[in-house]
Each structure stands twice: as structure tokens, then as C-alpha cells.
């Protein structure tokens, strides 16, 4: 199975480093630099196509990003961003100040608006649900993509916060029972 994941384009909250989580925040105006990033990623997507299925979370920022790429997608709540609970709408550094070492070294111990174990469970459910597909394109969120990358490489999500996934970044995983590889687009 090949899974190509694109993190949604920036929102005003991203620019302020505020955690969005399940808040349904729309995209900011697309800059010229971001438009060039879409063009560069689109060339890579053209090489990876055709996709069996294009999926996005239930949140508008992923659908808006997909539309800017020229895709319509199927919504799936398994791809939704981590629910940050009381940390939504505040700067990420507040979360790190409160839970820093656990957030970095063992996030599965944390419960925010949802447990991070639940995030890992959603990753596993996603992989099982779409296991019959060979080539997926997913428009997702930072925590979800980082969790997927960690899970693919290490078998759990505990290294997810040691990885940076920028807005509009593209990551491709090739997964099968014997080989797990990551390629940054």
C-alpha cells in the first residue's frame, strides 16, 4: 500500500502557532509561495497517480486544500486531527510547557481532548479499513500525519513529536508486511 499525505495549507491559527485540533478553522489566503508549493507537489502527485481513493478529514481546511489541488475527496473521521481539548485555541508552547517530556518521549500516556492512544487506534483502523487499496492520497493534519509516520517506522506513535510536518508538506509511505519506507515529496 502506498499512502501519500499532504498536510493542509496554513490557517490564521497556524500562523499564530495556536493548536486547532477539532476546531473547524478555514484556510488563510494562499500566498504566492504557497501556490508554488502546490505546483511543486502537484508534479509529484502526477507521477504517483492514479490514486485509488482521495481522502480528507471531516474538517474544512483539508477539503479546501484538496480543492486547491484539484481533488474532491471522501471524508473520513479517522483522519481528523487530534482533539487537543483545553489546549485548542492557545499557543502550542503552552502544551509543551505543561507536558513537554511526555509530549516528546511518550505521548501515548497523554489524554488531552482525546487520548493519544485513541489517535494510534485511529491510525490502525485507517490502515485496516483501506488495506485493500494500493494507492491512497490523504489530505490531513499535522498530528495525524506525524502519528502515521511514527507508526509506519516504529510500530507506535511515540516518536510522532520528534518529526516536523509543515503545512503543505507531502509525505509518501510505502507499506507492506515486509517493507515500510517513507519518502518526503
Over residues 64-94, the pLDDT tens digits come to 999 999 999 999 999 999 999 999 999 999 9
- Does pLDDT of 35 surpass 90? yes
The single residue listed with the C-alpha cell 503552552 is: 94
Among 161, 158, 126, 156, which Cα is nearest to 142's?
161
**Rounded distance, CA 160 to CA 102, Å?**
12
- Does pLDDT of 108 surpass 80? yes
Q: What is the CATH architecture of 2-184?
A: 3-Layer(aba) Sandwich (3.40)
pLDDT at 175: 85
Mean pLDDT in residue range 80-109: 96
Domain borders along the chain are 2-184
Cross-strand partners of 80: none
**Rounded distance, CA 144 to CA 39, Å?**
24
163-179 pLDDT, tens digit each: 999 999 999 999 875 44
pLDDT at 100: 85
Mean pLDDT in residue range 24-51: 97
pLDDT at 138: 98
pLDDT at 179: 41
The per-residue DSSP string of 148-182 comes to HHHHHHHSSSTTGGGS---TT-EEEEEE-SS-EEE
53-67 pLDDT, tens digit each: 999 999 999 999 999
Percent of the chain beyond pLDDT 90? 94
Three-state SS at 11: strand
Amino acid at each position: 500500500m502506498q499512502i501519500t499525505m499532504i498536510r493542509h495549507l496554513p490557517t490564521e491559527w497556524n500562523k499564530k502557532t495556536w493548536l486547532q485540533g477539532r476546531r473547524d478553522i478555514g484556510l488563510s489566503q494562499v500566498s504566492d509561495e504557497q501556490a508554488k508549493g502546490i505546483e511543486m507537489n502537484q508534479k509529484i502527485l502526477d507521477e504517483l497517480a492514479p490514486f485509488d481513493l482521495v481522502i480528507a478529514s471531516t474538517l474544512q481546511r483539508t477539503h479546501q486544500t484538496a480543492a486547491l489541488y484539484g481533488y474532491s475527496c471522501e471524508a473520513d473521521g479517522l483522519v481528523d486531527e487530534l482533539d487537543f481539548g483545553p489546549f485548542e485555541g492557545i499557543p502550542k508552547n503552552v502544551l509543551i510547557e505543561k507536558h513537554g517530556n511526555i509530549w516528546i518521549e511518550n505521548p501515548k500516556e497523554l489524554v488531552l481532548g482525546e487520548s493519544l492512544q485513541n489517535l494510534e487506534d485511529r491510525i490502525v483502523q485507517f490502515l485496516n479499513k483501506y488495506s485493500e487499496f494500493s494507492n491512497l492520497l490523504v489530505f490531513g493534519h499535522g498530528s495525524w500525519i506525524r502519528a502515521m509516520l511514527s507508526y509506519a517506522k516504529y510500530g507506535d506513535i511515540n516518536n510522532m513529536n520528534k518529526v516536523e510536518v509543515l503545512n503543505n508538506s507531502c509525505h509518501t509511505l510505502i507499506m507492506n508486511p515486509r517493507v515500510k519506507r517513507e519518502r518526503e515529496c
